[in-house]
């Protein structure tokens, strides 16, 4: 369990990030490339990114170092996500490449202790070698250009939608309601935020620094996460609400939305998850009859298949529907 302890000053300084963090998005998106990807919203992105990275051998080699120090499960180094990245990719990358040698060595030693691979390039990076830092920077720039920038409009749209929802909750119901709504594992009692099932038993004292909430498009829909080092500026990274991701992705996928319309494209995205008519309606905030009409059109077009189970109708994509979604 993770316990985050607030003082009165911390409550006053807790805020939501103003824009997506490109380095958190980059690091967490890398995880999806090396694990099974059940998220239908990311299937097309994953396929395209694999293709781009494998078009040229040089691309694969260039991103090898960032991937090697960012395992898909467990700890990855804090220095990969500096607070300066809240101001954009370039300020974040500049801060990352100026990481003190002691920080590089400490974070990479922690990575090794948790099972990370040891390689000459990683050893050079831990020693602060200029060549290794340049290699890391070049790899991150390439990855950001190929994997993140093509989806940036969807990421930003989802971020804005999530931030708007959280901000309304804060204004209408207060900070406790905002924090308690971040994830089912989160509980906030006014002084301590607890996250159950955390990877380790841990206490984080904010000590008047406040807490920066960072909505993240590529964060898995599991418990929020914090940096390992308690002395770094405190951030709590959480997954953008699924509804915000679905709607923004449908809108951002210009060809799909233009073909089907924004709402129907979003219905198609949700059908990929195998939801019921009621679940589709709830997540898109439309009526059940409206969701049913959209699904009927998609079904008659050969994009969706439906099956009744007692009082619920479950929907899944046909091969044609999945191919259209992945191309959208």
Q: Looking at residue 150, what is its pLDDT?
A: 86
Please check whether residues 176 and 284 belong to one and the same domain.
no
Structural domain for 228, as ranges: 2-13+153-241
How many structural domains is the chain composed of? 3
Residue 314 lies in a domain: yes
Among 95, 127, 150, give the residue marking a domain's end.
150
- β-bridge partners, 326: none
CA distance 189 to 317: 42
Please check whether residues 228 and 302 belong to one and the same domain.
no
Question: Closest by alpha carbon to 213, among 49, 4, 1, 72?
Answer: 4
Please check whether residues 200 and 283 belong to one and the same domain.
no
Residue 247 lies in a domain: no
Please check whether residues 237 and 135 belong to one and the same domain.
no
Question: Closest by alpha carbon to 126, among 77, 172, 188, 60?
Answer: 77
Strands 304-309 and 192-195: unpaired
Residue 105 lies in a domain: yes
- β-bridge partners, 212: 15, 235
Residue 282 lies in a domain: yes
∠94-100-102 over CA atoms, to 5°? 150
Please check whether residues 28 and 138 belong to one and the same domain.
yes
CA distance 195 to 178: 14
Write phi, then psi, for 90 (nearest 5 degrees). Answer: -65, -50
Residue 129 lies in a domain: yes
Please check whether residues 311 and 266 belong to one and the same domain.
yes
Please check whether residues 75 and 132 belong to one and the same domain.
yes
Among 135, 150, 165, give the residue marking a domain's end.
150
CA distance 325 to 106: 43
Residue 246 lies in a domain: no
Please check whether residues 143 and 35 belong to one and the same domain.
yes
CATH of the domain at 309: 1.10.10.10
Please check whether residues 67 and 36 belong to one and the same domain.
yes
pLDDT band at 17 (very low <50, low <70, confident <90, very high): very high
238-270 pLDDT tens trace: 999 877 776 666 555 556 666 777 678 778 877
Helix axes 277-284, 242-252, angle to 10 degrees: 80
Among 119, 150, 181, give the residue marking a domain's end.
150
Q: Looking at residue 139, what is its pLDDT?
A: 96
Question: Across residues 55-79, what is the average pLDDT?
Answer: 89
Q: Which residues contact 220 (CB under 8 A, 6 or more apart)?
A: 28, 31, 239
CA distance 46 to 307: 29
Question: Across residues 73-78, what is the average pLDDT?
Answer: 93
Longest pairwise C-alpha distance within the chain: 64
Residue 248 lies in a domain: no
126-175 pLDDT tens trace: 999 999 999 999 999 999 999 999 888 789 888 988 888 888 889 899 99
Residue 119 lies in a domain: yes
* DSSP letter assigned to residue 227: -
Question: Across residues 187-207, what is the average pLDDT?
Answer: 94
Q: How far is CA 36 from CA 27, 72, 153, 233, in A?
A: 17, 11, 25, 32
Average pLDDT across the chain, whole number: 88
Please check whether residues 158 and 141 belong to one and the same domain.
no
Q: Which residues contact 119 (CB under 8 A, 6 or more apart)?
A: 68
Question: Closest by alpha carbon to 214, among 231, 190, 191, 237?
Answer: 237
Q: Looking at residue 326, what is its pLDDT?
A: 63
Question: Across residues 316-323, what is the average pLDDT?
Answer: 82
Please check whether residues 26 and 132 belong to one and the same domain.
yes
Question: Across residues 282-298, what is the average pLDDT?
Answer: 85
Q: Between 48 and 70, name the one with better pLDDT.
A: 70
């Amino acid at each position: 369990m993770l316990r985050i302890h607030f003082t009165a000053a911390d409550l006053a300084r807790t805020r939501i990030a103003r824009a997506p963090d490109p380095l958190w998005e980059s690091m967490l998106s890398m995880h999806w490339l090396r694990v099974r990807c059940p998220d239908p919203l990311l299937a097309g992105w994953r396929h395209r990114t694999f293709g781009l990275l494998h078009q040229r051998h040089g691309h694969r080699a260039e991103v090898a170092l960032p991937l090697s120090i960012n395992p898909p499960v467990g700890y990855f180094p804090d220095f990969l996500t500096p607070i300066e990245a809240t101001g954009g990719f370039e300020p974040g990358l500049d801060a990352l490449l100026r990481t003190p040698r002691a920080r590089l060595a400490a974070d990479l030693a922690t990575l090794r202790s948790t099972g990370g691979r040891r390689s000459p390039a990683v050893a050079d990076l831990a020693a602060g070698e200029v060549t290794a830092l340049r290699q890391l920077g070049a790899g991150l720039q390439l990855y950001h250009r190929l994997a993140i920038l093509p989806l940036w409009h969807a990421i930003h749209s989802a971020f804005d939608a999530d931030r708007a929802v959280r901000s309304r909750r804060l204004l209408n119901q207060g900070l406790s309601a905002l924090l308690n709504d971040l994830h089912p594992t989160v509980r906030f009692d006014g002084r301590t935020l607890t996250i159950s099932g955390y990877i380790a038993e841990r206490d984080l004292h904010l000590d008047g620094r406040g807490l920066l909430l960072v909505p993240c498009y590529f964060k898995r829909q599991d418990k929020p996460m914090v940096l390992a080092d308690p002395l770094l500026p405190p951030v709590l990274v959480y997954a953008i609400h699924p509804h915000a991701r679905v709607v923004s992705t449908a809108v951002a996928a210009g060809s799909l939305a233009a073909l089907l319309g924004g709402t129907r494209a979003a219905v198609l995205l949700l059908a990929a998850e195998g939801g019921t008519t009621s679940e589709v309606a709830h997540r898109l905030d439309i009526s059940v009859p409206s969701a049913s009409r959209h699904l009927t059109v998609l079904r008659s077009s050969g994009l969706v298949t439906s099956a009744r189970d007692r009082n619920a109708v479950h929907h899944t994509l046909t091969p044609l529907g999945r191919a259209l979604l992945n191309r959208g």
